[in-house]
Structure 1
């Protein structure tokens, strides 16, 4: 079922994707009895069921054959997705939505560092400056949590850091495979990640405490917050330039914080707003200059985010 997007259509669709991603914090705050790993398990299970229904309609039955023919790199990529899916939901149960989303927004800069450390790509001065400023912002946010005695919040923020780290590892794996002429299909990799996330969290999820109300909300997260936007983000990434995707993805931070504030009365701490402004400002600076440049460097490229 092919879908051809114009540039404007891809921009609008990516905005919708970030809005769907941004619902996670608000929805999680309305759960009644489900705990951290149980939340992750049910969302993962509903994501698997949703993708198993969506992907054959979009790609045909061949999408499942790609799981067997993809090779080691495809499964390593799937493992990275599993870490991202798991760390994101666990972090949301330990820290504020704002802290988690600001920490995750470091993805493009950590990916650029991975390009420098593991592949040897040179980074432009604007990216080094953005990394320093974003690091100061994150340091301010972490330091305020540590000095304020918010141990659980700090732990949650550290868990959230696993998301951009896994994303950077995922990008490195994809780049190494492409350098050898092997193209990794991100769609089956996302499905593998959802399956691994579900299996890994099943033993930790018991005994189940989720009510029928919780299961309805978790089914919403599996379908509308993860499965559908995962597929749509891959489509958008095939049309938009990498800096455009990175800039539009920052809307998730704004949407996520606003929805949690308005829909769950979760007001972000001043230190998070200050540190977050530094991080988002650094990312905007870096990606806008990349977009204005004549060409995008390899360090500016990244696989679409999903969590």
Structure 2
């Protein structure tokens, strides 16, 4: 499916809105917790993808997985880490903490690409990494001092696995592309969902989810994860990397707002301060880079 630029922008905004419902939805679960939440969401993601992918790509999608090679499977492992860590983090830490921590993904990706692929980083990106680091340190410092809430710090640390895995995923794809081997991220999403389901199944026992919980998690597996992940891959083909990075930040804003309005989970002042530094650094870095490239044309 080919998208025009304007349609890709609109679709990416819709994608971030779909992603952002995870936090507020988990706050309305009755009995499911921890690994069980992750298992059910990943399980329903697999079911959704098994229906959607053959409709879009035909049975060839399964041969792509078998013949995909190490890069595709490593990408799948990264997706599995992201799927699993995200839900575990949400079960331990406030939504705002998790989303702000995840938002440093573009900067971690740039940093990893610098050392693995050799991409040179402009001064503005190094400054952005420093400012974002201060923002994250502000959040972590407050949680370290809150001895009565050790789960929040653990949840934030687990959330850090999401941007790290995302950075590795992007680097693997880019390195494979540079070597003449393109990795199709769509089937690798299915690989990641299957791995997440298999890994979390034994840890999910004994099941405690009510039918209400299973219904909500089924919705997350399809509407919040499977569908928007596929759409985001398509959007990335029509948008430039800085545009995608900036639009993805909307998930942070939407997610915090939904948790605040829909679950009465107001972000702490330290999160607002640290998040402002992180998001400000990201926006300034991408916007300045975009402006510089346009002036060179």
TM-score scaled to structure 2, two decimals?
A: 0.97
Aligned to 1:80: 78
Aligned to 1:34: 32
Residue 4 of structure 1, CA deviation: 2.6
In structure 1, runs of 5+ residues without a counterpart are: 296-307
Aligned to 1:10: 8
**Which of the numbers 66, 74, 91 marks the counterpart of 2:64?**
66
**Which of the numbers 83, 90, 93 marks the counterpart of 1:95?**
93
Residue 277 of structure 1, CA deviation: 0.3
Aligned to 1:293: 292
Residue 179 of structure 1, CA deviation: 1.9
Residue 60 of structure 1, CA deviation: 1.4
Q: Quote the Cα distance in structure 2 between the aligned partners of 1:43 and 1:77.
A: 19
Residue 115 of structure 1, CA deviation: 0.9
Q: Quote the Cα distance in structure 1 between the aligned partners of 2:215 and 2:131.
A: 41
Residue 117 of structure 1, CA deviation: 1.5
CA deviation string 1:8-30 (max 9, x = no partner): 11111000000000000000000
Aligned to 1:301: none
List aligned pairs for 1:1-307, cutoff 5 A.
Answer: 3-149=1-147, 150-294=149-293
Residue 121 of structure 1, CA deviation: 1.6
In structure 2, runs of 5+ residues without a counterpart are: none
> Alignment partner of 1:20: what SS?
helix
The runs of at least 4 aligned residues of structure 1 exceeding 4 Å deviation read none
Q: How many pairs does the alignment contain? A: 294
Residue 74 of structure 1, CA deviation: 0.6
Q: Quote the Cα distance in structure 2 between the aligned partners of 1:81 and 1:87.
A: 10
Residue 91 of structure 1, CA deviation: 0.2
Q: Quote the Cα distance in structure 2 between the aligned partners of 1:230 and 1:291.
A: 25
CA deviation string 1:214-243 (max 9, x = no partner): 000000100000000011101100101100
Residue 172 of structure 1, CA deviation: 1.7
> Alignment partner of 1:248: what SS?
helix
CA deviation string 1:246-269 (max 9, x = no partner): 000000000000000101111111
> Alignment partner of 1:31: what SS?
coil
Q: Quote the Cα distance in structure 2 between the aligned partners of 1:122 and 1:242.
A: 16
Residue 294 of structure 1, CA deviation: 2.0
Choose 210-219 or 148-157, whichever is displaced more: 148-157
CA deviation string 1:143-167 (max 9, x = no partner): 0111122311011000000000001
RMSD of Structure 2 on Structure 1 (CA)? 1.1
Q: Quote the Cα distance in structure 1 between the aligned partners of 2:116 and 2:132.
A: 21
Q: Quote the Cα distance in structure 1 between the aligned partners of 2:118 and 2:65.
A: 30
Q: Quote the Cα distance in structure 2 between the aligned partners of 1:156 and 1:138.
A: 14
TM-score scaled to structure 1, two decimals?
A: 0.94
